[in-house]
Structure 1
Amino acid sequence: MKYGIIGYGKMGMIRHKALIASGAGEAAKIYEINGNQEYKHLLVDTYDEIINDTNLDAVVICTPNYLNKQLTIAALSAGKHVFCEKPPAFSGDEVREIITTEEKSRKVLMYGFNHRHHGGSLRMIEEIQSGKFGRVLWMRGRYGKSVDEDYFTNWRADPKLAGGGILIDQGIHMLDLFLQVGGDFDEMHAFVSSLYWNIPDIEDNVFAIFRSSETGICASLHSTMTQWRHLFSFEVFLEKGYMVLNGLKTPSGTYGAEQLTIAQNRTKAPAANWEDEETHLYDVDHSWEHEMKNFISAINEESFTERRDSHEALRVMCLIDRIYDLERHEGKNLFNKLNGTN
């Protein structure tokens, strides 16, 4: 198969490398506004040259957030399979527009929710689905990074280009893992703030709690860009044990080692102790290649109706909508008060 890549910054390069590793095809065209010397023979002048090229089978979209929706719709409409980075759009309603186009095109659409493809996450989901630990009772996710003043010069600091702050940038991955493990949530409370960077509509912290009235599963999220030492922690507690994934193997290496701890309860108190735990360390990150292979498999198997990735993206965006609605209704007055504005 032949691919076109739109956007060849950090993520475009990572996706290209994963496509090469998959052995399933080649990148035939690349569009990047800043150019790229290594693959200059593949560069085209506009992204339309990729979208409208009938010789290309699929398009990989790695652009700033505000372009994701329009490029995905254009590529699907042109008869291309599409892999697009998250977020899919800026709201659930926008995702529904994309799904309408997807259904008409009958092409595969997949989004870059990369964290579900990490070795630790895959093992967690496998163990949970096995049933030997019983039902999921509750989950806790903490995901944070630090940014500096260079953040102000980045498109991510502009709400019109980014669509929001740390939640839509990074917390979206933790929400996706919550939904993968615990199913849907219909009850929610959240606090959204920008106490440090003070950028309107670009939150630097989100605290949110969720509950499913159907299953009773509860989850708590802290998504932050004022975590001065990068941190990733995803905890799942079940009837008969627990799983804790600390650290995340990333290209930057800033989140530390990816380590999954698993323990089953004893029949007598204390239910578990340190000696009962088994630890799995993931030294090599295969998540990018695993994700691309899933995309390619879906294309080869023509599994449009088998696994609708867009519907999972819609579930995530509906949660984000509700969190941002709470911020708009309840948090704006606090922001104005703290910053001396009306």
Structure 2
Amino acid sequence: MNLKVGIIGYGVMGKTRHQAIDELKCGKVIAVSEPNNQPEINGLPNVDHDGIIKHPDIDIVFVCTPNFLNKDLTIRSLNAGKHVFCEKPPAFTEADVAEIREAEVKSGKKLMYGFNHRHHDSVIRMKELIDSGEYGKVLWLRGRYGKSVTADYFNQWRAKKELAGGGILMDQGIHMLDLFLYLSGDYDVVKAEVSNLYWHMDVEDNAFVILKDTKTGKVASLHSTMTQWRHLFSLEIFLEKGYMVLNGLITSTMSYGEETLSIARNRSTAPAATWKDEVTTKYTNNNSWRYEVDHFFDAVTKDQPVVIGTSDDAQKLMRIIDEVYKQKDF
């Protein structure tokens, strides 16, 4: 099937998705939409958003735009009979996602969200082990995801609530929350402290989130911050019979360090725990972009459900984010 693709938003993410499509040879990008007044970009016609959505030959629309556009462009593309891949966040609220899901059902088309961290090889390995039951049930999770931003951040759309929908939680912490749900299931209690103590913007620079599942008792904690002063990614999962610790994440800049997964059995009896018991794997390649796009195109070409990054996943995630933002005090 020779699927034709249009990309709305041809910045870093649009180009990243284009590269993955080309590498997989799963489709052909025939037009892009980027508001820079250039008639062509990389030899492709640069049209307005409607030019992509209403293009008679385009089967799939990739939405790679600033957050405030995601909901509207996704619904319009679905209503136009296009399959849609949209970057995170899906929208600003759970109610927004409910509207999107109505359009999805009516269209009968595929919709997938770009929660890219699920597709890293390290996370895939963690998911396999958790689902196997080899280490028992998940007891608790702890995630830290932080970075430092520069003063010009004030001039970016991400610093404006009306354009971004939120601050560091919506920008970066959303990925960690998504991993919590993906690796350990849903949570029904949300407690949070959200602040903007340093940057003093109308969006948060820190979010401390505690989640609890009252059915199982499992708890997850997240610290999402833009006052880390160094980039950091750390995800710890402790289970009945062992643990998994993922430190670092492969990115284009490698600013989060090497992606290293450490796994060990629990050691609750003497002698005391020693580091030599851990099995450590370092991941040197970032295959996530290809895996993610491949999963979406498989769903389209084989007419099978999207399994990873569904609109249901998105709605559960935004339900938690809604509850977090209800608890902010600024």
Other-structure match for 1:2: 4
SS of 2:10's equivalent in the other structure is coil
- In the TM superposition, what are the counterparts of 1:253-264 in structure 2 within 5 Å? 253-264=254-265
Shift of 1:268: 3.2
Looking at structure 2, the residues matched to 22 and 97 of structure 1 have their Cα atoms a distance apart, in angstroms, of 32
SS of 1:233's equivalent in the other structure is strand
Other-structure match for 2:178: 176
TM-score (norm 1): 0.93
User: Pairwise CA RMSD of aligned residues?
Assistant: 1.5
Question: 1:287/1:203 Cα in 2 relative to 1: closer, same or farther (>3 Å)?
Answer: same
Q: Is the 8 A contact 2:114 2:309 kept in 1?
A: no
Other-structure match for 2:241: 240
2:282 is the counterpart of 1:290: no
Give per-residue Cα distances to partners, 1:160-198, cap 9 Å, x unaligned. Answer: 000010001100000000001111111121000000100
Question: 1:193/1:307 Cα in 2 relative to 1: closer, same or farther (>3 Å)?
Answer: closer
Other-structure match for 2:18: 16
Other-structure match for 1:336: none
Q: Is the 8 A contact 1:241 1:262 kept in 2?
A: yes
Looking at structure 2, the residues matched to 258 and 35 of structure 1 have their Cα atoms a distance apart, in angstroms, of 39
2:5 is the counterpart of 1:28: no
Shift of 1:35: 5.7
Other-structure match for 1:195: 197
Looking at structure 1, the residues matched to 29 and 148 of structure 2 have their Cα atoms a distance apart, in angstroms, of 34
| Aligned residues between the structures | 328
Question: 1:270/1:87 Cα in 2 relative to 1: closer, same or farther (>3 Å)?
Answer: farther
Give the percent of matched residue pairs that are identical in Structure 1 and Structure 2.
Answer: 54
Shift of 1:45: 2.8
TM-score (norm 2): 0.96
Other-structure match for 1:317: 318
SS of 1:142's equivalent in the other structure is strand
2:270 is the counterpart of 1:280: no
Question: 1:168/1:272 Cα in 2 relative to 1: closer, same or farther (>3 Å)?
Answer: same
Other-structure match for 1:39: 41
Shift of 1:308: 7.2
Looking at structure 1, the residues matched to 204 and 110 of structure 2 have their Cα atoms a distance apart, in angstroms, of 33
Other-structure match for 1:97: 99
- In the TM superposition, what are the counterparts of 1:48-67 in structure 2 within 5 Å? 48-67=50-69
Gaps of 5+ in 1: 333-342
Looking at structure 2, the residues matched to 316 and 36 of structure 1 have their Cα atoms a distance apart, in angstroms, of 37
